Amino acid sequence: MSEYIAPLKDIRFAMQELAGLEQVVALPGCEEASPDVVDAILEEAARFSAEVLSPLNAVGDKNGAKWKDTVVTTTPGFKEAYRQFVDNGWNGLGCDPEFGGQGLPRLLSAAVSEMWKASNHAFSLCPMLTQGAIEALMIAGTDAQKAAYLPNLVSGEWTGTMNLTEPSAGSDLAAVRSRAEPVGDGSYRIFGQKIFITYGEHDMTDNIVHLVLARTPNAPEGVKGISLFVVPKFMLKADGTPGERNDVYCVSIEHKLGIHGSPTAVLAFGDNGGAIGTLVGEENRGLEYMFIMMNAARFNVGLEGLGDAERAYQRAVVYARERVQGAEVGVRGGPKVPIIKHPDVRRMLMSMRARIEAMRALAYVTAAAQDHAHGNLDQVARQRGQAFADLMIPVIKGWSTESAIDIASIGVQVHGGMGYIEETGAAQHLRDARITSIYEGTTAIQANDLIGRKIAREQGATIRSVIAEMRAAATALDGDLAGVGARQSAAVDALEKAVSWIVDNFAADPKAAHAGAVPFLYLLGIVAGGWQMGRAAVIARARLAAGDADPFWAAKLATTRFYADHFLTQAAGLAEAVTTGAAGALAIADDSF
């Protein structure tokens, strides 16, 4: 049994050298994040994830959340771990100090989140959803709502949920049918059924704060008639503590492929007269608020992909070092060796590792962009940060999660037959990772957002400026990195070609453009990841040249090289799939499938 060990060295490298931690902590409001504080937080998070969360991961898988008569009992140990999580102040790390948070930069909370997700994906969903509820209330809550809910949500005393999906309203939220009827005193009675509600019911806290999409009477049809409500499990007494039980009950939880430790609830609102809630923000603007907060959630799910992938990688490395099988290639009759010596095992491990490093680098750079978008005093820098983050969030969500599924599957493969045995633990990472490309918007939803709102709507302005940065970075890949540089340049060419095609065809042939959306998302992910790996390689080379003998630098050069030869080489083919692949995809008659 291998426990998670936070890859602090690569985390620090990505934060400091690639994402510009120094500039981030110099932003107004981030003054608390001195180098010492950042270091201490990373160390402490690494300890908590290794010692508290990681050991509960397999337990949660095997002995998942249980439902009985509307009550959900979480995995033994989860409640106690959550209590420690709250007591240690982890819940409010990135939250507004006004409500008890620590106000630390997104870059730091991204790194810490990665550790929660890697050590225990199922557990980490609970604070992640609370974060969503906090953001919704911060964006649009009244002062009274903020005062009533935020302190307890920020501390983690209560948890939050996002209630969007209904049986006929999944990707298409325009189809939401839940109703909210005004009571007359400013509150509403909510009626309807919501599905796929993560931690929609559990036994870890005294209250649960549901954020719920519903329609008021006479609201317009479609997305412009959806409002957002806050509906606590227990209504608040005058002193702000939980009082009477509200009319929202968990009628079942799902039997899922993975993340068994995380209860996925079906919630019934209003079966006994109506669940009492209050309107958040303005009527009919609910979807807009949800989308703002969903951006954070999508970024976080991208980090889940990174976390699952890292966990799968670590387990595979431990096994590959321990498992002795066969002689070394080219040494006939030689002694048996650990399988990490075998070329294809190395290829598999490198294929995991290289993508993990690229995913981490891109995610952290995007986290830093969000910090600049939020806090930079220079308006141009704020706008640039926002535009970059808006462009990259669907990529981080879509590419990192799809890559994570493949990486976790390779993790199983490294274990051979043992990988297929559940007790080994490798299969759990594949089962857990498999949700990440689905929830908070499938990969297609991300890709449609990417080519539509993030590229075509602005005629590719942001992505072209990013491409220019990529080209500039590729020119630094000279000398012994010229081979990597050539691959990067060719991949950027392919990306640029695909961007032009999308900008040219999005309006004229929207179906063709959408048929190429997911291959385009992969293409951008691969090339953007390669860009960051190239930046890392230049730094590594400089350190080695300066006499720094840390093997970390040689390893970084190897992963960059591997990434270039195995992933950047896919770029040209993907660009062909984007620009020519729609014909085959759309030609077939519906009933010929």
According to CB under 8 A, which residues from 347 to 366 bind its own copies?
347, 349-350, 353-354
Q: Applying CB under 8 A, does 50 fall inside the site for its own copies?
A: no
Give the residue with the Cβ less far from its own copies, 189 or 415: 415
Q: Give 234: exposed, middle or buried? Use CB within 10 Å, 0-12, 13-18, 19+.
A: middle
DSSP 15: I
Interatomic CA distance for residues 345 and 360, integer angstroms = 22
End-to-end CA distance of the chain: 45
Give the residue with the Cβ less far from its own copies, 377 or 589: 589
Q: Applying CB under 8 A, does 572 fall inside the site for its own copies?
A: yes
Contact status, residue 66 vs residue 60, Cβ threshold 8 Å: no
Phi, psi (deg, nearest 5) at residue 236: -90, 135
CB of 344 to its own copies, least distance (A): 4
Query: For its own copies, how many residues bind (rule: CB under 8 A)?
Result: 106
Strand bridging mode 248-253 / 159-163: unpaired
Residues 479-518 that bind its own copies (CB under 8 A): 483, 510-512, 514-515, 517-518
| Amino acid (1-letter code) at residue 228 | L
CB of 473 to its own copies, least distance (A): 19
3-state secondary structure of 3: coil
Phi, psi (deg, nearest 5) at residue 200: -65, -20
Please list the residues that pair with 161 across neighbouring strands: 210
Q: Applying CB under 8 A, does 523 fall inside the site for its own copies?
A: no
String of b and e for 480-511 (b: at least 16 CB within 10 Å)? ebeebbebbbbbbbbbbbbbebbbebbeeeee
Residues 85-144 that bind its own copies (CB under 8 A): none
Strand bridging mode 208-214 / 159-163: parallel
Q: Which among 226, 255, 81, 217 has a CA at the least distance from the CA of 163? A: 226
- Determine which one of 166, 201, 440, 496 is catalytic: 440
Give the interface segment with its own copies, choosing from 126-134, 250-258, 375-383, 456-464 (CB under 8 A): 250-258
Give the interface segment with its own copies, choosing from 356-364, 392-400, 442-450, 458-466 (CB under 8 A): 442-450
- What are the tokens at 236? 């608040």
Give the residue with the Cβ less far from its own copies, 183 or 421: 421
Is 288 tagged catalytic? no
Binds its own copies by CB under 8 A, chosen from 48, 439, 501, 531: 439
Binds its own copies by CB under 8 A, chosen from 37, 59, 235, 438: 438
CB of 419 to its own copies, least distance (A): 7
CB of 314 to its own copies, least distance (A): 9
Give the residue with the Cβ less far from its own copies, 82 or 562: 562
Give the interface segment with its own copies, choosing from 49-57, 130-138, 146-154, 343-351 (CB under 8 A): 343-351
Q: Applying CB under 8 A, does 580 fall inside the site for its own copies?
A: yes
Contact status, residue 470 vs residue 464, Cβ threshold 8 Å: no
CB of 528 to its own copies, least distance (A): 17
Q: Applying CB under 8 A, does 38 fall inside the site for its own copies?
A: no
Residues 401-420 that bind its own copies (CB under 8 A): 405, 409, 412-413, 416-417, 419-420
Q: Applying CB under 8 A, does 520 fall inside the site for its own copies?
A: no
Contacts (Cβ under 8 Å, ≥6 apart) of 215: 176, 177, 178, 179, 180, 225, 226, 227
Kindly list the catalytic residues: 440
